[in-house]
Amino acid sequence: MKSMIRLIGLAYVLALFASPAWAGAYDDYFQAIKTDDTRTLTTLLFRGMDPNTVGPDGLPGLVLAVRDGALKAASLLLSQNKTKIDARSPQDESALMMAALNGHEALVKALIAKGADVNKTGWTPLHYAATKGHIGIIKLLLEKSAYIDAESPNKSTPLMMAAMYGTFDAMKLLIDEGADVLLKNDLNLTALDFARQANRPDSAALLLKTVEAKRPKGSW
């Protein structure tokens, strides 16, 4: 009898996914995420929508929610046991990276608590936080053992991102925490070169002072 009930239940779920109504549910799911509509989203999840469903643009629901600032939807998806916390976009961006980039510190904490990868290969959450100069998130990531000199695919480091795109305070924090100012990327550029290219004299001055202190005497 129990086996029969399970079979009936499975048949119902399969029929639901195959029906035109479920095709509409797919559209409703991503519309609910984009509009931060947790009421509709909760209903769809309760009815069996997979929280890891990927949208037409290749984005998993959680990554889309964080990218677009739909924080209630992101929290709801994060609460689902089936949600893959480290699902990536076609650009290899995770929800943690999007949260770090957009300054959502509370969400960064929640993602890390759920086991999000702080040190994924390639571009990392620390690169993204440094790019926007989010001090609190940079500190949090470093406290969670984020590798301070992580290399992007072109070997750019978080310090380089902070020097060119972030803030003076973010760059100084990374230096104070031990970021290597002498590293070069694939274009043979250092953080100092990045600061000069971005026309940031204060940042360039601090980096030059740090570089000079690091180099052995007589090496210039």
pLDDT in tens, 136-174: 999 999 999 999 999 999 999 999 999 999 999 999 999
Q: How confident is the model at residue 20 (pLDDT cuts 50, 70, 90)?
A: very low
Closest CA to 80 of 34, 49, 37, 120: 49
Tokens linked to 38: 């947790």
- The model carries a pTM of 0.87
Is position 108 within any domain? Answer: no
pLDDT of residue 19: 45
Tokens linked to 206: 């601090």
> What DSSP character marks residue 147?
-
pLDDT of residue 219: 52
Q: How many distinct structural domains can be found in the chain?
A: 2
User: Do 130 and 216 belong to one domain?
Assistant: yes
Domain boundary among 53, 77, 93: 93
Is position 39 within any domain? Answer: yes
pLDDT in tens, 62-102: 999 999 999 999 999 999 999 999 999 999 999 999 999 99
User: Do 126 and 190 belong to one domain?
Assistant: yes
User: The CATH number of the domain where 46 resides is what?
Assistant: 1.25.40.20
User: Do 73 and 123 belong to one domain?
Assistant: no
Is position 112 within any domain? Answer: no
Distance CA(156)–CA(145), nearest Å, equals 19
Distance CA(35)–CA(84), nearest Å, equals 21
> Is residue 14 within a helix (H) or strand (E), and if so which, with residue range?
helix 2-18
Is position 83 within any domain? Answer: yes
Is position 109 within any domain? Answer: no
Tokens linked to 163: 């020097």
Question: To the nearest whole percent, how much of the chain has pLDDT over 90?
Answer: 85
Is position 106 within any domain? Answer: no
Instruction: Give the residue with greater pLDDT, 151 vs 1.
Output: 151
User: Do 124 and 43 belong to one domain?
Assistant: no
Q: How confident is the model at residue 18 (pLDDT cuts 50, 70, 90)?
A: very low
Is position 67 within any domain? Answer: yes
What does pLDDT average to over the chain?
90
Whether residue 14 is predicted with pLDDT greater than 70 in this model: the reply is: no
- Vertex 86: Cα angle to 80 and 89 (nearest 5): 110
User: Do 43 and 130 belong to one domain?
Assistant: no
Closest CA to 102 of 124, 139, 133: 133
Domain holding 43, by residue range, is 1-93
Is position 142 within any domain? Answer: yes
User: Do 160 and 200 belong to one domain?
Assistant: yes
